[in-house]
Structure 1
Amino acid sequence: LFIGPQSNFIWYYTCCGSLFADCCFRLQTWVIVTLAVIGILALGAIVISLIRCIFCCD
């Protein structure tokens, strides 16, 4: 029986620690994937912008 803080669509809590006596905060898998995709797209945009700036022919 798990009794802990209320979960929602962004995060949940799970039993963890020694003897699973603690409650641990976890992000839902879709949130982690979404944040990773946004981070990769942002990093890609920065790299492309830097490359265009370096090799720009004015």
Structure 2
Amino acid sequence: YGAHYAETLRLWRERFTANRSVVTGLGFDTVFQRMWEFYLAYSEAGFRSGYLDVRQLLLTERTRP
């Protein structure tokens, strides 16, 4: 899933930066915007390199006799 998630993050970052004026209008300052863009880029790189991956877990309560 890593390569697909990396592409998703790239698209999110691209759309985020393309809509910076909207984000500013929502009250997010430049510090937050830079931090979010860095997070998206960092995560994308992590998934592309294989350093990060996703997992899905299903936890259930064990029934007692």
TM over 0.5: no
Q: Which has the larger radius of gyration?
A: 1
Could you state the TM-score of these two structures normalised by the residue count of structure 2? 0.37
Higher strand share: 1
Higher helix share: 2
